[in-house]
Amino acid sequence: MINAVKQPQSVLLLGGTSEIGLAILAALPTERLSRVILAGRPGDRLEAAKAATQAAMPMSTVETASFVAEDFSGHEQALAEVFDGGDVDVAIVAFGVLGDQAAINDDPNLAVPVMLTNYVGAGSATLHLAALMGKQGHGSLIVLSSVAGDRARASNFVYGSSKAGLDSLCQGLGDSLVDTGIEVLVVRPGFVRTRMTEGLTEAPFSTTADEVAQDTVKAWRAGKPVAYSPPVLRAVMGTMKALPRPVFRKVSARG
């Protein structure tokens, strides 16, 4: 259980090879951390993440668990098996795909995997996690959204819409869990320099996985429901959301 100074004993990372997810895991307090579960698609990348995490956290036991975002019917059992091994204090939902908007414009079928992974998959996992944490009576959910979900741009509107759906779901979920011992933190990073964005033109206020992790853990320790990373994006996106649509269209076309 998380103690009074926000030190967890167990952490689950869904998206066990996610650069941002692993950075958040590393940034969490480790003084009492005894169990870490990296859940994702089985393979060499997941095993490499396990080895690196175990080396960085020698006092913790690092496990792997099979979790496939698109296997919606298997989410309940996969996550229940993790909780059968002991309580989970913090669960980080950090998987998603960016997609190629230009390709989607040519072939709308390519939008479906983006929507299914980012919204249906992440939403399903988050709801199952909340239910399991409800049974144990405590826990924190940290869910990676994106500033792209604040207001969809023409250049990535399928990705933005999928994150907007997840973001809205998590906000409502968090409100429904007030006073239950379970909290939800929605994290909205801007452009993060990771494998997923390699080769793309960087947007203003670009950041790194480690910086997102620091902003996330700071917000989590403060009990906030939403975190922007970098924090300046809260004001930037507030302004962007208030722009008239013709103006926003022109501004976002340059971004």
Residues that are catalytic: 159
**In 3D, which of 126, 217, 227 has the Cα closest to residue 170?**
126
95 alpha carbon, distance to own chain's centre: 6
Cα–Cα distance for residue pair 28/219, rounded to 1 Å: 11
| CA-to-CA separations, 205 to 189, 193, 208, in angstroms, rounded | 10, 11, 10
Cβ count within 10 A of residue 250: 10
**In 3D, which of 78, 25, 82 has the Cα closest to residue 49?**
25
Give kind and range of the element (H or E) at residue 207: strand 207-208
- Cβ-in-10-Å burial (0-12, 13-18, 19+) of 53 comes to buried
